[in-house]
Amino acid sequence: MTTSQRHYHITTFGCQMNKADSERMAGILEDMGFLWSEDPNGADLILYNTCTIRDNAEQKVYSYLGRQAKRKHENPNLTLIVAGCVAQQEGEKILRRIPELDLVMGPQHANRLEDLLEQVFDGNQVVATEAIHIVEDITKPRRDSSVTAWVNIIYGCNERCSYCVVPNVRGVEQSRTPEAIYAEMELLGKQGYKEITLLGQNIDAYGRDLPGVTETGRHQHTLTDLLYQVHEIPGIERLRFATSHPRYFTERLIRACHELPKVCEHFHIPFQSGDNEILKAMKRGYTHEKYRQIIDKIRSYMPDASISADAIVGFPGETEEQFEKTLQLVDDIGFDLLNTAAYSPRPGTPAALWDNQLSEEVKSDRLQRLNHLVSQKAAERSQRYLGRIETVLVEDGNHKDITQVMGRTAGNRLTFFKGNIDELKGQLVKVKITEVRAFSLTGEPIF
């Protein structure tokens, strides 16, 4: 390593979209000659890719940024970048709070990082938050894993759930072309990747904005069609997709998942609330009955499918009775995993302005009660794995026990077993499950 070599560091907050964006931005930086530094304090360029989904996510970002802004006073050559959803939400305002920033860039600008940095290196302080058409990235992402990869298929979201900042910060839906997606996946297959997760905030919307309709008036490019198209790409053994919206989820998609062996029988379909009045206030566009029908339909094709979801407690005006309907739904469905959150009022969203906000005490009490039920149900769901033989795709070593490797079942359960990571990385291994916990499994390999 020479001292003239420039180093970069990226810290990523938030969802898989941000992680995928960070991998592309890291690819761009490496193309520009930067080297990765695990320690932000050893980097000449620091990029925070930020999340604003809830207030605590946003506050975390400010505390990180504050620390690096101080460092910049001692090291004026440090380049400080805030990217992602907080950058988009705050825009120029963030410069008033942290004038040390060199670049503020929204998620739609991720692929433009090199252009933007050139302006910075010319001595400008740059804010890039205007809505744009997202250009294809021609550099190779620096992916965290060599086994599993994310592929964006649609950016943005056209829904207007009354609590959610995502449409404000990610912009309108923009689907990538099937050709671009296919090309990226084909390359991943050649590079030895075994599993791909297709990404979109509302993945069922894929293709709505692309030209072309079928004879029956359906959009020509849908998620279902895409799954059929990419299924035979050599090397790729597993396909996943997220996130599904109950309003647009189709039986055609369920059938495709059932028919196509590489598509994992795992569905991530947030329901948010088990109460119809609350769902209406959230502007979700479905009822809990419709949600239950979707899950029944999935289970009628694939009885063992694993189901995960997101839920919010303490939405404005939520009564104890309405909250209990969420508990009821969780009890009835039996999720394999549920991401839960207390409602957090977000700037620029309708629900934040309502005067029927609940107290923090009520929200955290409900969150605790829901989480308790969730682990209980997940532990019950885990029982079905005991004694079974599952196929596990080995991703990494177990950092807590170096004699073990870790991977996931098709249903996305984290699984540990004895083995050497150097030999097993990227392999699909049959594992007999001998121990089950709420969210993970242990087993013995059958070679």
**Interface contacts to ligand SAH, rule CB under 6 A:** 53-54, 163-164, 166, 201-202, 243, 245, 270, 272, 310, 312, 341, 343-344, 346
Task: Please list the residues that pair with 430 across neighbouring strands.
Answer: 391
Cα three-residue angle 133-29-25, rounded to 5 degrees: 40
Among 10, 18, 200, 266, binds ligand F3S (CB under 6 A): 18
Percent helix, percent strand, percent coil in the chain, to nearest 5: 40, 25, 40
- To the nearest whole angstrom, how small is the minimum distance from the Cβ of residue 189 to ligand SF4? 29
Residue nearest to ligand F3S (CB): 14
DSSP state of 134: P
Pick between residue 235 and residue 345 the one whose CB is nearest to ligand SF4. 345
Greatest Cα-to-Cα distance within the chain, rounded to the nearest angstrom = 65
Per CB under 6 A, 442 contacts ligand F3S? no
CB 35 to ligand SF4: min, Å: 35
Nearer to ligand SAH, 40 or 207 (CB): 207
Q: How far is the CB of 426 from ligand F3S (least distance, A)?
A: 28
| Shorter beta-carbon distance to ligand F3S: residue 17 or 307 | 17
Q: Give the per-residue contact string, 27-66, with ligand SF4 (x = CB under 6 A; - = no).
A: ----------------------------------------
Out of 7, 72, 109, 170, point to the residue binding ligand F3S (CB under 6 A).
Answer: 170
Letters for 250-269 (x = contact with ligand F3S by CB under 6 A, - = none) are --------------------
Q: Which residues neighbour 314 within 8 Å (Cβ) at sequence distance 6 or greater?
A: 323, 342, 343, 358, 362, 363, 366, 367
Q: How far is CA 186 from CA 120, 257, 383, in A?
A: 35, 20, 37
* Smallest separation, CB 143 to ligand SF4 (Å): 24
Work out the angle at residue 330's Cα, subtended by the Cα atoms of residues 329 and 336, and round it to the nearest 5 degrees: 140
436 near ligand SF4 (CB under 6 A): no
Residue 14 contacts ligand F3S per CB under 6 A:
yes
Q: How far is CA 438 from the centre of its chain?
A: 22
Of 269, 258, 260, 259, the closest CA to residue 238 belongs to: 260
Provide the mask over 202-241, with x wherever binding to ligand SF4 is found by CB under 6 A and - wherever it is not.
x---------------------------------------
Q: CA Rg, the chain, in Å? A: 22
Characterize the bridge pairing of strands 174-175 and 154-155: antiparallel
Closer residue to ligand SF4 in complex, CB, 284/408: 284
Name the residue nearer to ligand SF4 (CB basis): 166 or 239. 166
84 lies in the site for ligand SF4, by CB under 6 A: no
Give the Cα separation of 209 and 205 in Å (integer): 8
Number of residues that bind ligand F3S (CB under 6 A): 13
Q: Does 159 bind ligand SF4 (CB under 6 A)?
A: yes
Nearer residue to ligand F3S within complex by CB, 20 or 263: 20
Determine how β-strand 414-418 pairs with β-strand 401-408: antiparallel
Region 68-97 residues binding ligand F3S, contact defined as CB under 6 A: 84-85
Which residue of 9, 10, 52, 240 would you call a contact of ligand F3S, by CB under 6 A? 52
- The least distance separating ligand F3S from the CB of residue 89, rounded to whole angstroms, comes to 8
Nearer to ligand SAH, 253 or 405 (CB): 253
Indicate the burial class of 92 (C-beta count within 10 angstroms; 0-12, 13-18, 19 or more).
exposed
With beta carbons less than 8 A apart as the criterion, state whether 340 and 370 touch: yes
Distance set, CA 170 to CA 36, 39, 88, 141, 330 (Å): 27, 29, 8, 20, 30
Cis peptide before 52 (omega within 30 of 0): no
* Alpha carbon distance 298, 88 (integer Å): 37
Contacts of 336 (CB under 8 A, 6+ apart): 266, 306, 307, 308, 378, 381, 411, 412, 413
Q: Which is nearer to ligand SAH, 68 or 344 (CB)?
A: 344
Asked if 157 touches ligand SF4 (CB under 6 A), the answer is yes
In the complex, the residues that contact ligand F3S under the rule CB under 6 A are: 14-15, 17-18, 51-53, 84-85, 165-166, 169-170
